[in-house]
Amino acid sequence: MGGITTDLRTGLAFCTRLPVAAPEDADLAQASWTFPLIGALVGALGALAYWLAAQLGLGAFLASVLALAAAALVTGALHEDGLADTADGFGGGTTKTRKLDIMRDSSIGTYGVLALIVAVLLKAGALTALAEPSLVAWALVAAHAGARAILPAFMRMVPRARADGLAASAGAPPQGSAAIAAGLGMVALVLCLGLAAALVAALLLAVSSVLMARLAIKQIGGQTGDVLGAVEQTGEVLILLAAAALL
């Protein structure tokens, strides 16, 4: 139980802005199995924001935007920042070194802005299509849990692009952590979306992860923390689109 508590505190301290201090013996790679659990919590808080907005009569679109804003507030827009940096680096750099330099730069460029706009609009549009607060709640939990569930396997299988930074310091998660995360993510998808939609969402996640891995290796030689954020955001979008189409 002590190890589980340590892993949960580590995951919460890294993945959210909640007032949880990381333990002294924090091991992010080992704790990566908690990512889908933390994602489920983030999705539930987003669902709560949607429900409150719906109770105030704000309508599905405004409620959807507020739900996304609440989730970003809880996480400190960690993954959104990764998506924007990845888009800027891959789109604006001409060499591997230049791409990595752009990704490390804290400023945001045109590619990053457009990537964020498209991602937010797709997610808000999917939630608006669902409209019913209960369906939105299940979809948000599934999206946040499922998208984070693939990250440990991605971290384990894709080489790191640089010797320093978040991905390098975290290291490769143990096989057990990656397997548990994937299992928890699949359970979340099935429970929230039903078997048919869960299988579609899982297939989309698998395909997008392979494509993102190939793209990252081609562009910069592997993965970074920003690439992981882009993988997570892509996963969220795909799961929400699957939910909007099939629920």
Does the pLDDT at position 236 exceed 70? yes
Q: Which residues pair with 160 in a beta bridge?
A: 223
Whether residue 187 has pLDDT greater than 70: yes
What's the rounded Cα separation, in Å, for the pair 35 and 159? 20
Angle at which helix 225-246 crosses helix 175-193, to 10 degrees, equals 20
pLDDT at position 143:
98
C-alpha–C-alpha distance, residues 103 and 124, integer Å: 26
Query: Is the residue at 181 inside a domain?
Result: yes
pTM score, whole prediction: 0.95
Whether 18 is covered by a domain: the verdict is no
Q: What are phi and psi of 160, to 5 degrees?
A: -85, 140
pLDDT of 2: 60
Give the pLDDT of residue 22.
85
Q: 167 lies in a domain? A: yes
Q: What integer is the mean pLDDT of 176-204?
A: 98
Can you say how many angstroms the Cα of residue 110 is from the centroid of all Cα atoms in its chain? 22
Residue at 222 is within a domain:
yes
Q: Residue range 233-241: average pLDDT?
A: 98
Sign of CA dihedral 181, 72, 226, 147: positive
For residue 4, being part of any structural domain is answered with no
pLDDT value, residue 26: 83
Q: What is the pLDDT of residues 31-89, one digit of tens each?
A: 999 999 999 999 999 999 999 999 999 999 999 999 999 999 999 999 999 999 999 99
pLDDT at position 147 over 90: yes
Q: Collapsing DSSP states into helix, strand and coil, what is residue 26?
A: coil
Residues in the chain: 247
Terminal Cα distance for the chain, rounded: 37
Q: What is the mean pLDDT of residues 98-122?
A: 95
Give me the number of domains the chain comprises: 1
State the residue range of the domain holding 73.
Answer: 37-246
Q: How confident is the model at residue 195 (pLDDT cuts 50, 70, 90)?
A: very high
Please give the Cα distance from 90 to 96 (Å, whole number): 9
Grouping H, G, I as helix, E, B as strand and the rest as coil, residue 151 is helix
Percent of the chain past pLDDT 90, that is, above it, reads 88
What was the pLDDT predicted at 25?
81
CA 82, CA 87: separation in Å to the nearest integer?
9
Residue 9 lies in a domain: no
Question: Residue 171 — very low, low, confident or very high, per pLDDT cuts 50/70/90?
Answer: confident
pLDDT band for 156, please (50, 70, 90 cuts): very high
Supply 172's token pair: 């490769």
> For residue 114, what pLDDT is reported?
98
Query: What average pLDDT score do residues 113-119 get?
Result: 98
Residue 13 located in a structural domain = no
Q: Is the pLDDT of residue 121 over 70?
A: yes
Does some domain include residue 27? no
Concatenating the DSSP letter of every residue in 59-113 gives -HHHHHHHHHHHHHHHHTTHHHHHHHHHHHHHHH-SSHHHHHHHHH-SS--HHHH
> What mean pLDDT do residues 6-20 have?
94
